[in-house]
Amino acid sequence: MAEVAEESKTSEQRVEHRKRVIKGASILMGVKNSEIACVVRNMNSGGAELKVPAETRVPEEFLLYVPLDGTGYRCRVRWRSGDRIGVMFTGTEPKPHWHYG
């Protein structure tokens, strides 16, 4: 329940409405080039909502690579609820040279 309350609080603080999208993406952790497949559900210039496998351990900060955008977004987790994670973008960078996508 605390997670849902945190999610509502965050959405109320959002300045820019998130646009609904469905984009395949990868959470890149750089630890031996490890990654987690995910789906971007909605997004704006400041952040996104990601759908990840429910049992997956996602670090507090990571690089989200979205092949359709050709961009890597530096992310910080703002909330978690089941298989959903809300992230804030803290910067962008090019696709890592080791990523195949």
Calculate Rg over the CA atoms of the chain: 13
Position 52 scores a pLDDT of 96
At 54 the pLDDT is 84
Token reading at 29: 């952790």
The residue ranges of every structural domain in the chain are: 2-93
pLDDT score at 23: 95
Tokens of 10: 């965050």
Widest CA span in the chain: 40
| pLDDT value, residue 5 | 39
Architecture of domain 2-93 in CATH?
Answer: Beta Barrel (2.40)
Token duo for residue 37: 């497949």
Instruction: Name residue, tokens 């952040």.
Output: 47
**Gap between the Cα atoms of 72 and 66, Å rounded:** 6
User: Is the pTM above the cut of 0.85?
Assistant: no
* pLDDT confidence of residue 19: 78
Q: What is the pLDDT of residue 7?
A: 45
State how far the Cα of 42 lies from the Cα of 60, in Å rounded to an integer: 19
Given a cut of 50, the residues of the chain with pLDDT beneath it are 1-12
According to the model, what pLDDT value does residue 3 have? Answer: 43
> Which two three-digit tokens encode residue 13?
């603080």
